[in-house]
Amino acid sequence: MLKFIKVERNAALFIVFAGLLGLVLANAIPDFAHQIEPVHHYAELALALFFFVIGLELKHELTEGVFVNRKALLVPGLAAIFGAMIPAGIYYLVTSADPIASTGWAIPMATDITFALAVFSIFGSRMPKGSKQFLLAFAIIDDLLAILVIAIFLRSDVVTALLVTGSALIGLLVPAKFISKLTAVLLPVINLVVLPLYAFVSLAIHLETSLVAVLTSLVGIGVVLRVFGKSIGITLGAFIGSRFTKDALPIGDYFRLSVLGGIGFTVAFFVNDIVFSEYPEYHIQAILASLVAAIITVVISIFTLRKKI
């Protein structure tokens, strides 16, 4: 199966390092966060390559990969749909008392393929055959759903909408024979430039609040609960889909993989930039809560991926 993001541990660590560097510099150098704001805009535009590759990967799977058999879409498709709807619904219920906070309902929807695959590569060696395909499949569909949400429901400007939907659509229209070469060229650029740069500028925030304040805020609670919402939704969707196919994994294995859905990074930050662009307090809460959710996910994954359920 063609890798959507060819994740090596070093590449994932490089993205983390870039993000942490941005956070440290923003809090060590006065006005640093304000000075790099123009860079943030260009980093967002560079994400067009990221979404373009999502389109390429989906096209590959539809023409040569696991989705050639359209029935193979059922399990990861339902896992992605329920895995997006349930955390979004939980977030909205938690934040419904605050009309501004509730606009961030799409933040917990998407799974970060880069980090999910990195964690799987480290701790998922005991998982059965087909596990990696399921993880990549539901994560790709997951991101596609997030792209549609951004384009249709969020209050993004025309440029942002065209950036997201346009680049993914172009990827879908690329002839299948060119996909492998394009992917081989673009993945290093995405892993080593685009995603680290976006992580750097996204986390270059000046912290004027405590972690306790973030985790007790409505936005913070709603985002952190994605860890449980994604697991419930992905497992439920996979369970329903598995009733109609003979090639399904045991439900316990779907649950073990579903935990990885708790990692939200690039797309979550992108949605956050759109919905909370004019509300710095909410913006910071969503970023820090996403980081906490990712850490919780990794800790839980260490146990779930190594232990048979």
pTM attached to this predicted model: 0.89
Contact (Cβ atoms closer than 8 angstroms) between residue 142 and residue 261: yes
Q: First vs last Cα of the chain: how many Å apart?
A: 26
Report d(CA 131, CA 144) in Å as an integer: 20
Q: What is the pLDDT of residue 308?
A: 66
Q: Please give the chain's pLDDT, 309 residues, in tens.
A: 444 444 456 777 888 899 999 999 999 998 898 889 889 888 988 888 988 988 898 888 888 877 777 777 899 999 999 999 999 999 999 999 999 999 999 999 989 888 888 888 888 888 888 888 899 888 888 888 888 888 788 766 666 766 777 888 899 899 988 998 998 899 888 888 999 999 999 999 888 888 899 999 999 999 999 999 999 999 999 999 999 887 788 999 999 999 999 998 888 999 998 899 889 999 999 999 999 999 999 999 988 987 765
User: Does residue 2 lie in a domain region?
Assistant: no
User: Does residue 18 lie in a domain region?
Assistant: yes
Q: What is the pLDDT of residue 60?
A: 87
Q: pLDDT (tens digit, 9 = 90+) per residue, 15-27?
A: 889 999 999 999 9
Report d(CA 148, CA 159) in Å as an integer: 15
* Residue 200 lies in domain: 9-304
User: Does residue 190 lie in a domain region?
Assistant: yes
User: Does residue 205 lie in a domain region?
Assistant: yes
Q: What is the pLDDT of residue 2?
A: 41
- Output the six-digit token pair for 268: 């979550």
Contact (Cβ atoms closer than 8 angstroms) between residue 224 and residue 289: yes
User: Does residue 112 lie in a domain region?
Assistant: yes
User: Does residue 243 lie in a domain region?
Assistant: yes
The enclosing domain of 17 has a CATH number of: 1.20.1530.10
Q: What is the pLDDT of residue 157?
A: 62
| Distance, CA of 149 to chain centre | 13
User: Does residue 226 lie in a domain region?
Assistant: yes
Count: domains in the chain = 1
Q: What is the pLDDT of residue 4?
A: 42
Q: Pick the closest to residue 56 from 147, 213, 173 (CA basis).
A: 173
User: Does residue 121 lie in a domain region?
Assistant: yes
Contact (Cβ atoms closer than 8 angstroms) between residue 267 and residue 142: no
Q: pLDDT (tens digit, 9 = 90+) per residue, 75-122?
A: 999 999 999 999 999 999 999 999 999 999 999 998 988 888 888 888
